[in-house]
Amino acid sequence: MNVPAGFKNAVTFDYSAPFFPGNIEVFDGIDGTGKLLASKDFDTNQACAFPHQYCTWTQVKVPFTGTARSVVFGGTPDYIAYDSIILGSD
């Protein structure tokens, strides 16, 4: 996720990962380039009964120092969901 104008302090988001863990990285350049400002690994959270496995959401806050211009959301494709992204939360 690119934010060319930049943001400071932290990124906060909710995630649902019932099967595989995930991670994010925050960079001071666009497209996941430049200096790595912060990174965070996170565990799976509880799955619910099929077909609604993605019903448990966990909030994560990743603080950093500097001005971020991109966030790389990681995890196994099609097995993790991100929502309610807040940029610059303090």
What is the domain count for the chain?
1
The pTM assigned to this predicted structure is 0.90
Range of the domain at 59: 2-87
Name every residue whose Cβ is closer than 8 Å to that of residue 20 and which is 6 or more positions away in sequence: 44, 75, 76, 79, 80
> Residues 31-79: pLDDT tens digits?
999 999 999 999 999 888 887 788 899 999 999 999 999 999 999 998 9
CATH number at residue 50: 2.60.120.260
